[in-house]
Amino acid sequence: MSLSPVKKEILETLSHNDKAVKAIDVAKESGKEFRPVMMHILGLVRMGYVTSPEKGLYAITQNGKEALHMPEISKEKAESILAYAPHDKAFHFYAGIGKPVDLHAHNFRDFANKVQRAGLESVQFHMNRGDFEAWINELGDADLAKKVASLKEKNLVGEDLCSQLHDIVEQRYIELAKLAGQPVYPE
C-alpha cells in the first residue's frame, strides 16, 4: 500500500522514538498542526502501521517499519552490529580536518560513552559532514543511521545535540544487546 508523503513523514517521526508518544508530540516534532496529524495517525492505526498500546499514546509497528524499508533485525544481525570493530573500522573523532581528538569508538556502547567526551566542536564537525550516520551504516544499522541523521534536520547544536546523540545510540545499544542475548552495560 502506498503512503502519502504526510503519512510517511509521521511514520518516520514515530520511528525516531523508542517508546509510544502522544500525537501532540508527533505534531510538534514534525512541525505540523495537531488535528491533521491525529487524523493521519488514526488512518495509520487502521492500516496496521501504528499501534496504540495505551490510550493517547502511539508507536510504529513492525509493518510500519517495513513500509519505511526498515527491516526487522535478527539476533544474528544484532550480534554483528554490536561486534567489536577493529581499529581501522573504529570511529575516529576529529575537531576539524587534520585535527584529531585522540578518541575512537569500536562499537555503539563505546561510541555512546565517548561522544560525550569528544567535545562540542567534534560532534558538530562530524554531524555536519554525515560521518556518524556513515559509520553506523557501515556497521550495518540503517535504522540507527536514520535516527542520527534526523538530529541534523532538527537543527540541534551544542549540549542538546550531544545529549540526544548519546541517548539515541545508548538506547539502540541496549535494544540490540537484549535482542542478541548479551548482557547490557549502561553507563
> What gap in Å lies between CA 93 and CA 101, rounded to an integer?
6
Query: Tens digit of pLDDT for each residue in 117-170?
Result: 999 999 999 999 999 999 999 999 988 998 898 888 777 788 889 998 999 999
Confidence of residue 62 (pLDDT cuts 50, 70, 90): confident
> What gap in Å lies between CA 33 and CA 18, rounded to an integer?
23
The CATH code of domain 5-67 reads: 1.10.10.10
Looking at residue 1, its pLDDT comes to 58
CA distances to 35, 66, 136, 168, 179 from 62, rounded to whole Å, are 25, 6, 21, 19, 15
Query: Tens digit of pLDDT for each residue in 89-122?
Result: 999 999 999 999 999 999 999 999 999 899 999 9
**Contact present, 174 and 81 (Cβ < 8 Å):** no
Looking at residue 67, its pLDDT comes to 87
Per-domain residue ranges of the chain: 5-67, 75-180
Query: Tens digit of pLDDT for each residue in 5-42?
Result: 999 889 988 887 768 999 999 998 888 999 999 999 99
Residue 58: pLDDT over 90: yes
